[in-house]
Amino acid sequence: MNKPLVFSLLVAAVAVVAAVPLFTVRAADDAMPTVGQDAPTFTLPSQDGTPISLEQYRGKWVVLYFYPKDMTTGCTIEAHKFQDALPQFDAKNAVILGVSVDTPDSHKEFCTKEGLTFRLLADPEHKVVDAYGSLGHFGPMTIANRNTFLIDPHGKIVKEWTKVDPSVHSEEVQAAIAELKK
């Protein structure tokens, strides 16, 4: 094969690969629930294997945050920001629940390594991630997209965030709770 043809084929292949998005677009059948809707209920295992249900937190504000992967940079930053603000969330009658497609064992290792004390929920079958329209793909990996749902004490979604900035998100959620409690 001659060099110009090989080069042309290589350029065409790179162009095709560059045109393929790293994150897939959500399908219509796994759309996000919207503000004002009842939050989809669930029960998932936490880092210690204990089943955690949304229903057990009726009467509290629930910060349900989805994140891509244990022990990755952005997810660690986001988890530490929530951990550092736990006293403020407690004072607002709010709980933090993190969800990813990782296993309970992965969550346990992440919590131990990073000193996290709130609940991380394992959804390797993607049931809750799907119910909240937060399933994503990064190259060959299936992950949870970085989305958060604020659920009021009556079980309604009152605020949602997509593609959050992990370094400031905890403060955004606290401000939203304070505003909604007025």
Contact 66, 129 (CB under 8 A): yes
**CA–CA–CA angle 136, 167, 40 (5° rounding):** 45
Question: Residue 152: which of 169, 135, 173, 133 has the closest Cα?
Answer: 173
**CA–CA–CA angle 6, 9, 10 (5° rounding):** 85
Dist. CA 17–CA 101, nearest whole Å: 26
Is 75 tagged catalytic? yes
- Which residue in 39, 75, 122, 144 is the catalytic one? 75
Sign, Cα dihedral of 140, 147, 121, 154: negative
> Annotated catalytic sites, by residue?
75
